[in-house]
Amino acid sequence: MSKASDTPLRFAQIGDLHLTDPGLPNHGDFTAIVQELNQQAKTGLDFVYLPGDNADDGTRDQFALVRAGLNQLRLPYHVIPGDHDFKPRSLQAFYSGLNVPKLPYRAEVRGQLCLFLDVVSHGSGGPDFRLGDQQFAWLSDQLAEAKRDNKRCVVFMHAYPADLGPEADRLSRLLDSSPAQLVAMGHTHYNELSHDGHTIYAATRSTGQIEEGPVGFSLMALDGDVVSWRFKLLASPWPFVMITSPADRRLSFERSGPADRVRASVWGAAPITLAECRIGDGAWRPMQSCGDGLFEAPLEQSHDSFELAVRVSDETGSLGHDRIEVGPATPRSSTGSDAGSVGAWPDRHLFGTQLGPNRNGRKW
């Protein structure tokens, strides 16, 4: 595939808010996350994404709380509905309260195609997720156009394709034959990455109904054929680093060739004064700034499998780091579900708990 942009697509995802009343912890956490993200308005984040279940009961007052937070955000944003937003059996309050585009819609960012879907309003409510024939046809056309034009895709929907009942197999097959490399979701309430060999499915911990660990938000990147994901705790310091190339072995595609450079995105309020990378226990080597919070260096390795680390420091002396395991891709079968979960990955705040309301949620 050709590269329309040499700068990766990078976005932040705030997990399901489930806002009810002002002043509650999830409202305060939402406000704090917005304030943190505002500090990154000039560090290469393309947009902020809310994956649904924004208003716990789908009321106008609750959507007003969501809108008030978004009004403070100094980055572009995209918001889709979840089943809680559809509790009134209508999305009228969602659209009028948030003033967002009618779904489905597309946005081209960094030469990549972003497709935003509504999987709730064609069902009967609750977890009865559906696309409906008209939206299915639209999605098929968009993915076919992207394939023809050699554009990579990110699909934004509330739940796993496997959660779409009688439409599940049809949607999974459509994604398998498309250039969709990443599906960004909510609904699970826990952090999870699932890889079916063709597409990576990424779910971010809920902000409003947390069953595991502290509150935070995720950062994702699509850098050529590499998908990266990392979760930042709200209470953790800046700078924050995410390696965007090469791929970690858990997220590697068999179709991808070897990388010839190390790339990392760095976010923080203070300017970065030093960025370095190393392979295994080797010497630290300098990385050069490419602007927009992106740093890179040539990748010189003699083995198929190795550990890669990046560390940075800013002008205040604060440190940030990231580490991945590079290795051959594991053969996988396409399912469009959490059956392909990469499992626990503590460094990424992936605990493998699956405590939540999705189809296979445990103890919830």
Give the CATH number, domain containing residue 279.
Answer: 2.60.40.760
**Are 315 and 212 in a shared domain?**
no
Q: What whole-number distance in Å separates Cα of residue 280 and Cα of residue 152?
A: 31
User: How would you list the strands of the sheet with 294-298, edge to edge?
Assistant: 240-245, 261-267, 294-298, 288-291
- DSSP code string of 249-272: GGG--TT----SEEEEEEE-SSPE
Residue 34's closest CA among 92, 63, 75, 91? 75
pLDDT band at 2 (very low <50, low <70, confident <90, very high): very low
Inter-residue contact 279 to 307 (CB < 8 Å): yes
| 24 falls within a domain | yes
Kindly report, residue by residue over 225-273, the tens digit of the pLDDT.
Answer: 999 999 999 989 999 999 999 999 999 998 777 788 999 999 998 999 9
Judged against a pLDDT cut of 80, whether residue 220 lies above it is answered with: yes
Residue found under tokens 């083995």? 303
pLDDT in tens, 71-95: 999 999 999 999 999 999 999 999 9
Domain boundary (235, 258, 280) is at 235
179 and 258 assigned to the same domain:
no
Residues 161 and 266 in one domain: no
Q: Domains in the chain: how many in total?
A: 2
DSSP H helical ranges for the chain: 25-38, 60-72, 92-98, 133-148, 168-176
- Average pLDDT on 54-69 reads 98
Task: Please tell me whether residues 197 and 298 are part of one structural domain.
Answer: no
Range of the domain at 268: 249-326
Identify whether residues 88 and 204 lie together within a single domain.
Answer: yes
Residues 215 and 281 in one domain: no
Domain boundary among 235, 263, 298: 235
Is the residue at 355 inside a domain?
Answer: no
End-of-domain residue from the set 188, 204, 235 = 235
| Assigned domain for 100 exists | yes
Asked if residue 197 belongs to a domain, the reply is: yes
Query: The sheet that has 216-223: what strands, in order across it?
Result: 77-79, 47-50, 9-13, 216-223, 226-233
Region 203-210 average pLDDT: 93
Say if residue 118 is in the same domain as residue 230.
Answer: yes
Are residues 190 and 316 both part of a single domain?
no
